[in-house]
Homo-oligomer: A and B are copies of this chain.
Amino acid sequence: MLATLIHGPRDIRATEVADPRVEKPTDAVVRVVASCICGSDLWPYRGVQETKKTHPIGHEFVGVVEEVGDEVRDLRVGQFVIAPFVVSDGTCVNCRNGVQTSCLHGASWGADDQDGLAVPGGQSARIRVPWADGTLVGTDEMPPDALIPSLLTLSDVMSTGHHAAVSAGVGPGRTVAVVGDGAVGLCGVLAAKRLGAERVVLFSRHPDRQALGREFGADTVLEERGDAGVEAVHALFDGVGPDCVLECVGTKESMDQALRSVRPGGHVGYVGVPSGGAELPIRLMFGGNINVAGGVAPARAYIPELLPDVLSGAIDPGRVFDLTLPLAEVADGYTAMDERRAIKVLLQP
């Protein structure tokens, strides 16, 4: 079967590898229906994050269960499943607390699990899923093809945008600004509106992303950044800024934009994977009572809440995919995202 391997910077290829199989009684094997490329996959692709040895890559996929181990109870062969972007046992104290990303027995797609067994990457045709009951969320019925892209966003970007909104305390009557117009930021707009935000402002300079942001519910788009961006967003909200800011990038500049944009006493929900130099300036936070919450989104905790709205068509986050490629052409997908020709690339095995 085909699996995507990263060998080093800008060296990513779909390669024939052996089919995975059930190795432990808690495993399942899933045939991938769709997977995708994440903004964070670009970090090793660009060499910002070192690739020490060749390994499988990808952490977002949906598919159909082909085989289950003897101890799998909640899933059946033939069932459609959504995979969150990390593996979790579903039973440890952190999983019970809804923080499956900190599972005591968890694993990352594309790395080895705690027993040293390889876990395949998401950009593959078939995948062994450890802790299948704890990790996967199954649907009752086989969803129509048209919903696949939106279901796939629950693996990561929609759950992550939702995490930013929840962490920022978005709710009815709240005013919101979103820093970042990538797939996560756009899903953050959608999540904020879904949670009842009164007004949502999106920082964006790209016409196509601005357009999708507006369709997802952004009431205002601001092209300004830095000091001008802070001034512009303050002017929109009583001169002090919105109640909530969603930080969906992870750079020092984007976090600075978020912290300076939010009103005193407001909340920054951050989900951008922190890149170099993003330490938080505590004095600025202290003086203005700026609260910072978020982190790596526990998608497994959110999928059951978001799934009904995707199945009903109430939200359509799958619109963030603007390029679809066969898995065999995965390298072209990375190039398109790296060059910002695509917001997010969907892969079909």
> A175 CB to closest chain B CB, in angstroms?
11
A264-B97, A265-B99, A279-B282 given; A292·B295 CB < 8 A:
no
Residue of B nearest to A263 (CB): B97
Count of chain A residues near B, Cβ 8 A = 38
- A97-B263, A265-B102 are contacts. A292–B289 as well, Cβ < 8 Å? no
Q: Are the CB atoms of B278 and A282 closer together than 8 Å?
A: yes
Q: How far is the CA of A296 from the CA of B278 in the complex (A)?
A: 23
Quick check: is A287 within 8 A (CB to CB) of the other chain?
yes
A167 partner, pick from B94, B238, B263, B291, beta carbons under 8 A: B291
What 1/0 mask marks residues of chain A from 282 to 298 whose CB sits below 8 Å from any chain B CB? Answer: 11011111111111101
Beyond A274-B283, A279-B279, whether A265 also contacts B97 by CB under 8 A is: yes
CB A104 to nearest CB in B, in angstroms, measures 8
In the complex the two chains form, is A279's CB within 8 Å of B281's CB? yes
- Interface flags for A305-336 (1: CB within 8 Å of B; 0: not) read 00000000000000000000000000000000
Instruction: Let me know if B296 and A265 touch, CB within 8 A.
Output: no
> Which residues does chain B contribute within 8 Å of A264, judged by CB atoms?
94, 97, 99, 101-102
Measured in the bound complex, the distance between the Cα atoms of B278 and A146 in whole Å is 50
Q: Is A98 an interface residue (CB 8 A)?
A: yes
Distance, CA A274 to CA B283, complexed state (A): 6
CA distance A287 to B287 in the complex (A): 26
A296 x B286 contact (CB < 8 A): yes
- Asked whether A287 and B296 contact (CB < 8 A) given A97-B264, A264-B97, the answer is yes
Q: Considering only CB atoms, which chain B residue lies closest to A286 in the complex?
A: B295
Q: Which residue of B lies closest to A289 (CB)?
A: B295
A240 within 8 A of B: yes
Please, which residue of chain B has its CB at the minimum distance from the CB of A103? B264
- Counted per complex, copies of this chain come to 2
Q: Are A273 and B286 in contact, CB atoms less than 8 angstroms apart?
A: yes
Tell yes or no: A93 within 8 A of B by CB: yes
B292 touches A293 (CB 8 A): yes
Determine if A280 is an interface residue (Cβ-Cβ < 8 Å).
yes
The complex places the Cα of A187 from the Cα of B58 at a distance, in Å, of: 49
A94 and B290 form a contact (CB under 8 A): no
Instruction: Report chain B residues within 8 Å CB of A97.
Output: 263-265
A239 at the interface (CB under 8 A from B): yes
CA–CA, A291 and B265, complex, Å: 15
**Are A94 and B263 closer than 8 Å at their CB atoms?**
yes
Q: Hey, which chain B residues are within 8 Å of A274, CB to CB?
A: 282-283, 286
B93 adjacent to A240 (CB under 8 Å):
yes
Choose among B239, B283, B291, B294 the residue that contacts A289 (Cβ–Cβ < 8 A).
Answer: B294
**A199-216 to B contact mask, C-beta < 8 Å, 1/0:** 000000000000000000
Looking across the interface, which residue of chain B has its beta carbon closest to that of A290?
B295
Q: Given A240-B94, A274-B283, does the pair A102, B288 have CB atoms closer than 8 Å?
A: yes
A244-270 residues at the B interface, CB under 8 angstroms: 255, 263-265, 267, 270
A-B contact pairs, 7 of them (CB 8 A): A102-B287, A267-B293, A270-B282, A279-B280, A286-B295, A291-B294, A292-B292
The 6 closest A-B pairs by CB, nearest first: A102-B264, A99-B265, A280-B280, A291-B293, A289-B295, A279-B279
